[in-house]
Chains A and B, each alone.
Chain A
Amino acid sequence: MIQLTEESRSGWCVVGVRGRADAEAADELEAALRSALQSGSKVAADFAALDYISSAGLRAVIQAARAAQASEVEFVICSLTLPVKKVFDMSGLHQILQIRESLPC
């Protein structure tokens, strides 16, 4: 189960992600992030309430990050919880994606 919100703050479009980003939720997550990229603002994915991410969830994030890079939109992932941070660290994606400890806005 995943819950997604979107709000504008100081030139950023913040996508709040709560719950579990697994195979069931991955497409929904990717669609929300891609939709935010269309806003014309910089995009921050707020993972402060994301409890779990699987490989399918990571795929959704990578896809969104690639789309952001292709359209030259700044895309950052923020406020990782400990279990989610562990997955990003183990997969090495923290070296490839822009990850911040807190929201930029």
Chain B
Amino acid sequence: MLSMLEEVVLLAVDEKTGGLRSTREFATTYALVGAVFFDLALARRIDTDTETIHIVDTTPTGNATLDRVLSDMAKLPDKKTVREWIEEIFHRKDDLEGEALQSLISQGILRHEKSKLLWIIDVERFPPVDNKPQQHVKLRLAHTILSDEIPSTRDIMLVSIAEPCGLLHYVLSESELAGRRARIPGRGRCGARGDGSGH
């Protein structure tokens, strides 16, 4: 199973060009940070409420990115508020995105292409090798919003991350979204965390 961070990065890949979409730059960065916290909550390593985040278990998860963040968090016991932690992890945006891309490449889902724009500017693209994982994430998002089923904790988290950074618009049209706004949990604010099973 892909991590939430990998799923968010995968959603940000334009399936036709392999370019990374960053429709709202800061929002996308926050989405990556949120994904890491959700991953740690799904793994039952942290618990959170509207104000604070705290570690409940420092046992490594087996995911290198998550374990690095968890280890760093454990070294900073004075940081407790959601705001402090978001600011702390925010500065590692490039690491988070790069590690997730590398993981997706090593899993055979994306490939890495480098080219030059006007012979000067480096352009990196990540075209999908296997479209199924991205389609699977999109289908889950669409189902969460369009169906009347109670979604899994994981899918609630995914929607609450995808919406504020504009990634839902690559999954559903504005007219499809219009009538289903109430199904978009949290609009990126809190979400629910800690479903180890993902269902």
Check if A96 sits within 8 Å of B150, measured CB to CB: yes
Say how far B197's CB is from chain A's closest CB, in angstroms. 8
Expressed in whole angstroms, the Cα–Cα distance for A69 and B41 within the complex equals 24
B residues near A65, Cβ cutoff 8 Å? 150
A22 interface neighbour in B47, B184, B187, Cβ under 8 Å: B47
Expressed in whole angstroms, the Cα–Cα distance for A53 and B193 within the complex equals 11
Expressed in whole angstroms, the Cα–Cα distance for A69 and B194 within the complex equals 20
Check if B152 sits within 8 Å of A58, measured CB to CB: no
B147-189, CB < 8 A from A: 149-153, 156, 160, 182-187, 189
Say how far B155's CB is from chain A's closest CB, in angstroms. 10
B residues near A62, Cβ cutoff 8 Å? 150, 152-153, 156, 192, 195
B residues near A59, Cβ cutoff 8 Å? 153, 192-195
Say how far B1's CB is from chain A's closest CB, in angstroms. 17
A56 interface neighbour in B47, B152, B184, Cβ under 8 Å: B47
Q: Which residue of B lies closest to A95 (CB)?
A: B182
B residues near A56, Cβ cutoff 8 Å? 41, 44, 47, 56, 193-194
Q: Which residue of A lies closest to B49 (CB)?
A: A54
Interface size class of chain B, counting residues whose CB lies under 8 Å from the partner chain: 20 to 34
A residues near B152, Cβ cutoff 8 Å? 62, 66
With contact pairs A22-B47, A90-B50, A92-B160 given, residues A55 and B150 touching in the complex (Cβ less than 8 Å)? no
In the assembled complex, B28 has its CB within 8 A of some CB on chain A = no
Check if B153 sits within 8 Å of A91, measured CB to CB: no
In the assembled complex, A87 has its CB within 8 A of some CB on chain B = yes
A residues near B150, Cβ cutoff 8 Å? 62, 65-66, 69, 96-97
Check if A23 sits within 8 Å of B183, measured CB to CB: no
With contact pairs A55-B194, A91-B190 given, residues A96 and B183 touching in the complex (Cβ less than 8 Å)? yes
A43-86, CB < 8 A from B: 52-56, 58-59, 62-63, 65-66, 69, 86
Using a CB–CB distance below 8 Å, which chain A residues touch chain B?
Answer: 22-24, 26, 52-56, 58-59, 62-63, 65-66, 69, 86-87, 90-93, 95-97
Using a CB–CB distance below 8 Å, which chain B residues touch chain A?
Answer: 41, 44, 47-50, 56, 149-153, 156, 160, 182-187, 189-195, 199
